[in-house]
Every structure is written in structure tokens, then in C-alpha cells.
Chain A
Amino acid sequence: MEVKTLLRGTLMGGVLFAAILPAAAEDSVYVQLPTYRTGPYAGSGIPIANGMADYITMLNERDGGINGVKIVFDECETGYDTQKGVECYEQAKAKKSLVFNPWSTGITLAVIPKASVDKMPILSMAYGLSAAADGKTFPWVFNPPMTYWDGASGVVKYLGDQEGGLDKLKGKKIGYIYLDAGYGKEPIPLLEQFATQYGFTLLKYPVPGKEMQNQSSQWLNVRRDKPDYMVIWGWGAMNPTAVKEATKIRFPMDKFIGVWWSGGEDDARGGGQQAKGYMTLNFNAVGTDFPAVQDIKKYVVDAGKSKVEAAKFGENLYNRGVVNSLYMAEAIRIAQEKSGKKVITAEDMRVGLENLSIDEARLEKIGLKGFIAPVKVTCDNHSGHNKMYVQRWTGDKWEKASDWFDPMSDVVNPMLMAAAKSYAETNKPWPARSEPCAN
């Protein structure tokens, strides 16, 4: 290639590069959706990305956005990689996204310290740092409807119910198999606390991220240790592998329970019919039997504006993505009310998230009755510690196996507050909350 052509190409590229900054159309707000449709976690990431995008598209198509303000969005591919996630965060900041959804505990941890400086609300829906539920210490971080610690307490509570009371857990062995990263390590302090409190033994089986598709050694240990229950905190390719391995060693599936992130249809399908009875927590309904979900079908999927495969529409993780966008949409609506502006800023969005309240009446109105439990976030409590339920795999779909129940907030809350305090302590000087409480 001639030097001249090279030069010309570079120049042209530069001009194009300058032209990318989008001119903000009137009456629209921008939200960046970090997603991962590539990499080892894509199996979990794709349905979520589809769900998030489709709900927002549906709102834009059906209602013309929220109170006439369109939600402009684009995706930023993180590949579940912290480096790329931080780059997406910088991009979200530069393009003035209303909110940042990291969709990875690692990325969440990386952006939490930046959030209050950059005035960028972080919505980490039921993942990320559990201690971020303390709104006094983390005014810019939100993790509704509940934290991992709430989830871990829910698991213990459910297992106690199965045994006929929490005191019956004494002397039992509970195995904990987890992704050996921030995500899987997060609930360990709480589980350990429960282990001493209720007298059960906690056996830990870490699965390194790069070996998550080969868990035979961990499950060999499980077979040797013979725990009474197994609890899984997995994500991406780790889940189907674990379910498959569990069926291989003939671990009783009705004693195997996972967190909500281990509850994708594809995760359980890996074990086939033998995975029948596998349970996970959940905080959203599965299926398409809701007016708003039908609207997504009508306005988005049938109109060819979605990337979702028809057969996977309404599956668990897809609906989870819808919940994430539902939170954002409701927060935008509340922020509009609170600020009196139609086109809100990220700072208004923070107020919206802090006042996020979706009750039964509201759910009924937007056509999602029974889709999620009512959610309420306050200034002090950025998670809300809302309700969850247990679902069971029937061999080809999930069915509800318990009623909605509360986490054990009496145990979790004091630990959350202590953890938030120690986080602020180790990250000195941690800024004190300066934002006024608006609810």
C-alpha cells in the first residue's frame, strides 16, 4: 500500500471519528446497556440483553417512550471482562447515560468508587456488592430487589423449612459450589455466620473461572464428602456444567439449590430429564402470560425488532432482563415526577432510583401483575430486601415451588451495615453522603 493511501485513510478515519458524537434528538434520554453476547458467559448474557432491549423498544413503540420522552439506547459489549466494562463505563459517561448497569460483579466493584465522583447512578440488580444496600455510604449505587446476602439467607431459610425448622439444620453438611470470583465469594461471610449460628458444616467447592467447564474434580469431592444439600452460585457456562456433573454422580436433585443467577432454562436443560427437581431462587416470573410481555411480542418480537429466538421468548433470564429495564423505566418516570422535567439527567435518575416504588397497583396498571414482587427502595435502603421464591425444574420448564417469602433481614441487615462501614474504612477517605434525601 502506498504511504499516501495510508495517510488518506487515516485522515478519513479521523473525520469519521469526530462525527460519531450523536446529536441529541429532542425529548429523548439515553441509556447505555452493557451486555455480553460473546465469551464464556454469553449463554447467560444473551437472553438478558434481549430482554432489556425488548422492553425498552416496546415502551418506545407502544407509548412513544415515557411521558413522551423516548429512551434511546445502545449496547456496549463487555464480554464479562472488567477492562472492557470500565471502557464501557467511560463511554456511558461521555455519552451521558442516565444509569450504568454493569451486569458483572467485577465491573460493579470497579465502578463503585467512581460513581459518586462522576455522578453516575449504578443499577446492579440483585448482584454486585451486597454492602451497597446501605444508601448512606453508597448514595449512587442501587441493588434492588435484594442482595446476595439476602439470597443466601433465603437459601438457608428454605432449607430450614424443608427440614422442619432452622434448628434442624444442626449437624447437617451443606456444600457450597461457587464461581471463584467476587461474585461467588460474596455470600461466604453470611453463610459462615449461619453455619456457626445454626450448627451446620459449610463445605466450600470453588470453581476457577477458566475451569468452569471442567468441574469433575469438585464433584468428585462432593461425592466423597456426601453433603446433605448443595448450594450453587454459578454463572455462564458454569451452571449447565454443574447440573450435568451433579446428575453424573447421581446427587439427589431435590437437595440441589441455586441462586437466581443459576436459574436459566439452558442451565437446567444441560442435565436433561435427570435434572428434574433442581431448584433455584427467583425474583421474577417465568412465561409470557402477562399483558406487558404480550405487548413485547406484539410490538417488538412479531415486528422483527428483537434478536430473541421465538422459543426462548419469556424464559427466565429473558424476563430477568425485562425486570432490569422495568426498573429503569419506572425510575425514569419517578424522576420526571420528582424533578418536574421531561428530559432528566443522571442526577435526577439517582433520585428516581432512590424513590423507586413499584406496588401491586402499579404492577397491575403496567400489565405485569405477579411478574415480580412489589419493590421499594428508600434513601437508607438501596436494596429493599424484597421477596423471592423458589422454582423447580420439571424436566422441561421451571415451576413455582414455594410462595414469595422474605429474606432474613434481621440477620442480614446488621451485617450489611457493618460491611458498608468497613468498606468505607478500607477505602479512606470515602466521601460522606452529600445528596439530600428526597423521599
Chain B
Amino acid sequence: MFYREAGQFKSSYATDQAIFPLLQDRIGFFTILAIAFIGVPLLADDFILDAIAIPFLILTLATIGLNVLTGYAGQLSLGTGGFMGVGAYACYKLTTAFPEVNIILLILLSGVFSAGVGLVFGLPSLRIKGLYLVVTTLAAQFFLEWCFIRIGWLYNYNVSGAIDSPERSLAGGLVLTGPNADSVTRYLVVLAIVAVMTLLVKNLIRGRIGRSWMMIRDMDIAAELMGVRPLVAKLSAFAVSSYICGVAGAMFVFFYLGSVEPAAFSITLSFQILFMVIIGGLGSLIGCYFGAAFIWILPIFLRNVLPAIGIDIGAENIVHLTSMIVGVLIILFLILEPHGLARLWQLGKEKLRVWPFPYA
């Protein structure tokens, strides 16, 4: 009734190709942006910002990174944790070597190192596919993790073997990282980076490069016959994906955890992000947000809500419960809705278009 395109005419190519062609979508989108940029910082307390919002946004970005590779280009990967680690360690090395350079610049730059590593480990994808590619990316994961533990130069020979985020501030004295950084500041920086990167990826996917990724995904031989070069398409997917993951990894250390051991970038993180992609929806950007929100917030939600309604099952059972719920959901999604939460969202929108009638 109120959500339909009737009467909205497009009179130029630009309006026709807009990301949100519908007025209602645009209103909704800007409302969400306004809430995220203005409402949340005003209303949320430190716990919501530090334990929910910031990690959720960072993990969303990592999910977008993996989704570019797996969802759009069809290359399975289990190396996400490792690629995130490369970004984090690169940023740590850069900022300890050049303490006066702006940290945001370094975070964006550290993704380049991650992209380089991703390119190298993406090379086998030219010859092998599917499960076999999973094995090579798994090798990347283990090799990178080994580097983080074994190569002392990467963590400046710290006794603890951990890297930590030193205090860095803007020229104006606004503290961005380190323990003295305000939650709101860190949240806004993370939000800005994630929002801008999402926009860039969205446009990349709508363009020539993204289309060539999807052609490779859907049928590589046909794509090759139509003039898509697999070398360029696959490697660019690996590079872009690793770049995004690297930036997410650097933010993970500098804006969220503050200090990490190599174990933070273990295979567990890779799986966590893969589950976010699957639950959210392969090949969907909004799905990345849904998936990350679901996997990250569900345990926190369960832990806080169950005791409040009188079901006190103990902290450890909530962990078991979460694994069970996530496990069951992954199986259900794979069987019933392989496109994940994003597809449900789309179905909901379509239903809304014809509402209150059952069909149009």
C-alpha cells in the first residue's frame, strides 16, 4: 500500500541505475544512516558500543570481504582469519615504525599488504576449484597463523607475543586508538569506514568487475568464452576480498580488542565469518549485516535475556545453546533457504509491495 513503485518514473539513466531506485527505500536507508551516525552515539552506553556495535560493524566488514570472494566470485575460502591477521600485523608494524602518520591512513594502507598475500594464495584458484581450493586457503590460514606466532619481527619481539594498539590521535588531539580513546569516537570511525567501504563494494559489484566475478561464479567456461579473463577476475576477487578483510583485521585490533594474541586470528574466526556469510546470504551485502548481527549478537542476547525472564541455565549452557542454535540454523538455511537472511528480507519486501493483497 505504502511501499510500491507506482508513480515513480525514471527520466534519466542515473536515476534508473541508482542503488535505491525506490523513494521509500531511500527514506529507509537515510533513516538507518541517521540512527547509526546520530542516534546510536547519543543513546547507547559504553557496553553497547564496545561489546556490541563496534565488533558487529568490524565483523560485518570482514563478512563483506569474504562474501566478495565466496558469494560473488564463487571461490570458497577458509583463510579469512589469516588475512585479517595480515592486516592487523601490517598496521601494527606500520604504526610502530611511523608513529606520526595518521592511523586511519595506515589502517587503509595495511589492507594492501593483506591484498598482496591474498593474491599469492589466490594463485592456485586458477587451476583448482571448490573443495580443493578450500584446502589451499586452509593452508594459507595455518601458514599465516604460524608466522604470527613464530616470526618475532612481526610483533616487535614482545615477550608476550601479542600486538597491542598504542595511543594514536588526530592532529587536533582527538584520541582515536588506545585505552584512552572514547567509545563514541571509535564507533564513529569504524562506522564511517564500514559505510564507505560498503558503498565502494556495492558499486564495484554493480560494475564491470563485479559482473565478471559473478560470471566466473555461475559458469567459468562460458564466462571465458564471452571474454572474461579468469586470471584477472579471480585474482582481483582475491585481492579485493583480502584487502577488505585486512582492513577489518586492523580495525579489530586497533578499535576493538586493543591487544591480541595470534590465537585471535585462528581458524575459529574464519569459521565464524563463514557462518556469517552463510546465515546472512551468499552474494548479498545486506546479508552481511544480517549475518554478522545474528552470529555476534545472538549469544549476548541469550546471555542477557534468559536470566532476565527467569531461565537461569548458567553461563556455559548459553554457549552450548548458542552453538546448537547456530548449528541447526546453518543446516536449516542450507536446506530451506540457501540465500540466507537476505533472501527472507527480500521476500518480506515483495510481500510488502502487494500488501494488503496476497498477490498482485
A residues at B contact (CB < 8 Å): 3, 13, 16-17, 19-20, 35-38, 74-77, 79, 81-83, 86-87, 90-91, 93-94, 105-106, 109-110, 112-114, 116-118, 129, 180-182, 185-186, 188-189, 206, 208-210, 307, 419, 426-429
Contact = CB atoms under 8 A, between A and B. Distances in A.
Contacts of A81: 263, 268
Main SS at interface, chain B: helix
Contacts of B46: 90, 93-94
Given A38-B316, A182-B161, A428-B166, A16 B263 contact: no
A109 B164 contact: yes
B308 A181 contact: no
A182 B160 contact: yes
Contacts of B158: 426
B348 A3 contact: yes
Given A35-B316, A117-B180, A428-B166, A90 B261 contact: no
A93 B259 contact: no
A27 B192 CA distance: 44
12 contacts: A3-B351, A17-B304, A37-B314, A76-B303, A77-B303, A82-B260, A86-B51, A86-B257, A90-B51, A110-B259, A117-B179, A427-B166
A182 B316 contact: no
Interface residues of B, number: 50
Contacts of B351: 3
Main SS at interface, chain A: helix
Interface string B309-329: 100001110111000000000
Given A109-B261, A209-B263, A427-B164, A37 B316 contact: yes
Contacts of B308: 16-17, 19-20
Contacts, number: 133
A208 B149 contact: yes
Given A16-B309, A82-B260, A106-B261, A180 B149 contact: yes
A90 B50 contact: yes
Given A38-B316, A74-B307, A87-B51, 19 more contacts: A3-B351, A20-B308, A37-B315, A37-B319, A38-B319, A77-B315, A77-B316, A81-B263, A82-B260, A90-B51, A106-B260, A106-B261, A106-B264, A109-B261, A114-B179, A117-B179, A182-B161, A185-B161, A189-B159
A429 B169 CA distance: 11
A94 B49 CA distance: 11
Given A77-B315, A106-B162, A185-B161, A82 B257 contact: yes
A37 B317 CA distance: 9
Contact of B159 (A87, A186, A209): A186
B266 A210 contact: yes
Most buried by A among B55, B160, B309: B160
B258 interface: yes
Nearest to A130: B159
B141 to A, nearest CB: 11
Interface string B167-178: 100000000001
